[in-house]
Structure 1
Amino acid sequence: MKRFLVIILIALLSIPSFGCSNKSDTIKIATKPMTEQFILGEMIKLLIEDNTDLNVEITKGIGGGTSNIHPAIVKGDFDLYPEYTGTGWSFVLKEDGIPDDETLYKELQEKYKNNYDLSWIGLYGFNNTYGLVIRKDLSEKYNIKTYSDLAKYSEDLTFGAEYDFYEREDGFDALCEEYGMSFKKSVDLDIGLKYNAINSKEIDVMNVFTTDGQLADSDVVLLEDNKNFYQTYYCGTVIRNDILKKYPELEEVLMKMNNILTESEMAELNYKVESKKEDEKKVAEDFLRDKGLLK
């Protein structure tokens, strides 16, 4: 009798489970090489592990940003990552012009699904658009306060940006054409090294994101985009559809990130990590707990 029960028990344990994940399953997250993405990656990881039986592995700081992450996620090397609507529209889809926010997001969802079998799940709420900063000493010397002011002196200045910015439809070339800028030199920099470069005077001008925490801690001036060249860039999660199909519970979890961050909140989180040297995982966890999103 005992032997019979043991056989039944072994048989039951060997039956595969369907429709649910097990703790050995791992979701692979990629992030771009910037503090904001590190924090967002940690938030997504915490929410997934808090609400499912899945493990999460984050690969932080992929060099080249979207240019390397997008083909990798299409290939299946990663499962999801935080992306910006404007980047997806201009750099990935290579669409001309940027429509209104509602139209853009709707078309992003459709084209990512049809072209790449990827989905956009929710938007986090903050707009991290591009801006330009100049060293404070140069701003004061030449009285440069706007992009148009910058254009007058651009031939004497060195510009720095990450690879994506030079390749975007609304990036370096389009910006220079719109404002009549012609820089003495342009330098390709890793996102994480740009502030070091401008603080050490290796470059004079650079593009930034308007939620950069280091803006408050660097000797730079954020210039006015007086022709309103840049539009909104909202951040959301891009995920493989086969992963959503395999783990449908992820959609509800990822939607917990929808509309939870303002620009000022994101900038403050960035500042805590970049300037106050707090751990990005703790910063992410504290924020989610304050919002009541962790059990």
Structure 2
Amino acid sequence: MSWNTIAEFRVTSSKNPVKTRSMSKHHYRDYILKELERRQRKNPSYSLRAFARDLEVPCSRLSEIINNKVGLSESRAVNLATKLNLSASERDFFVDLALAEHARSAVLREMAQKRVQVRQEAFEKIGEDEFAVISDWHYTAILQLLHLDNFETSIENIASRLGLSLDTVEKSLDRLETLKMVTKDENKWVSVSQKYSSSYGASSEAARNFYSQMQNKAAEAMDIANRKRWDMGCTVVATDSSKAKEISEKIRKFRLEIMQELHSSNNKDTLFALSTSFFEVTERN
């Protein structure tokens, strides 16, 4: 995985991955408690009753959930994750954690447990914060937005320009600051110009999350109601399978050249995403 000022996303391998605490004890209740603690740091008088009100859950039921007296159904987990304003990857993990413990079907429980295991293995190698940053699209967008000319980098402006909630932007900036990718200077957020480059052997799950979200963003851009500028094309062609590696390398070089050209432009006033797809259509023998 490579992060730099043009936000090139690449999955690589590593012989010495960063070790973090084991996530085997990670629980969906952790997300609830973490969000409660965050709100109480901002407002010391913020109570569990106020938290329950904001989550639209009876206070007694929220207390039972936190104290492991009742579980969560899939629909309730999805609703609660939405109310907690979790990012896309965190929302999926939250729901999987609930399903892995409470799904009525043994098959659904087993499937969720496998997804949780994959995510936990990635956390162990790259850390939960790093996983979120490389798997949720808005982190890259926020970092790049800070490079726009004459842009007031307040939380309100960032939220408005990217169509995000204030809470999402605030939590994202906190996480980026923890990772030393942004800094706050006189109430303005600044992207640190230093390059960040690391190799993660278990980042394929993060890559899948990121590209899936970007595909969704591309679909949104084509919606006539959005009035966004877009240019997309798709060609299906018969070819020799042995050429796949060569073509992939040419696409990567092309993408880097275009991104470098865009990054060096003057009068930066907007963000565009360059997404290239090259994948096999037929089934493998």
TM-score normalised by the chain length of structure 2: 0.25
Structure with the larger strand share: 1
Which one has a larger percent helix, Structure 1 or Structure 2? 2
